[in-house]
Amino acid sequence: MKKAIFSALALFSATAASAGSIVYTAPDVIAIEEPARMGGSGIWLIPLIIVAVLALALTQEEDEDVIVLNGQTF
């Protein structure tokens, strides 16, 4: 009987020793950072559109040479 108890005790202690620690410590999470995108939101388009509209408005020529007199253009 003593041998059965001793062998059971040896079996349980060997199992517990090979199981590791009781407290589980998770491995560190490796964070992979994405490279920063340059103006990925499209916010740079707003000033570009404003400049384009201003350039278009300022470069249009008005016809100042046209004279309208009684419905006729000269």
Amino acid 3: pLDDT: 83
Answer left, alpha or beta for residue 25, where phi above 0 means left and psi between -120 and 50 means alpha. Answer: beta
Residues in a beta bridge with 68 = 73
Identify the sign of the CA torsion 35, 41, 45, 46: negative
Run means of pLDDT, 10 residues per run, the chain, 74 residues: 79 62 76 71 83 88 68 66
In angstroms, the CA 55 to CA 48 distance is 11
Q: Are 67 and 73 in contact (CB under 8 A)?
A: yes
